[in-house]
Structure 1
């Protein structure tokens, strides 16, 4: 396989280009672009992000597979400390043009979908594949929604013994009686 072509971020590839032959890309957003992605994904920061993506023809659309590597900084849900997590993930999906006869037909009430089966292909709005968008989408899928710093343990704060708003008044009246 040919060495991936390093391309600018964001990256879009036309279906026609993939139809003419497989495309291999290496994507690395700039520091400013990583900052925008971190904000979009509610991260403290995105220290590094790179992806190698391979696109090949599939039916009248494309098959996309790739490897993404990232270093994300998130806030621990137990301690509120920021910590860095490495991410190394593979992803794959298929896309079809909007006018494709192979596009999945949405049927309301169809509960026959196999939860363990392959995802249905994405249907594109035009003829362009937003490769960088799929990289960010799959990075988001790799993020822990409740991140925990390694070794962090949540400690439940003690429950107040009296929750009544009148408990403060009661303690004042007890002090007056003692005086």
Structure 2
């Protein structure tokens, strides 16, 4: 097995913010941001796997600063760790005020993807990082992966308590 360079998965997408992107507060709707994240991070994931991937989790989600009409959003996504069939992608969205050139971190999160083919195995053994940011985020991969495993186990009780019947289907006594 060989090494995969984190930089080879880097995806950078820019979007100008327009009126249809805004919510009633005049800031970008959170669902729009999550759509940008899923799109960008899935490209990074497929650059590692060259296989179809499915989104398993989004975590460490942080809406840090709102995006408004005179700004743009620059999403950067790249691989921060991987196992046999799963991988983690970090995405940050940098805002830029197009009238003043001021930049800020508006959003960041980690997305976990899984290759649905049970026979597939990621053909790399190590991840090569090249920037301080990549090294710092990749260093925390094992801990985040362990946290996700613990959370998955804890969710079993929650899933058993969730009712799938619709309220209007409830039987009346």
| TM-score normalised by L of structure 1 | 0.30
Structure ranking higher in helix proportion:
2
Q: Which has the higher contact order (CA 8 A, sep 6+)?
A: 2
| Structure of greater Rg | 1
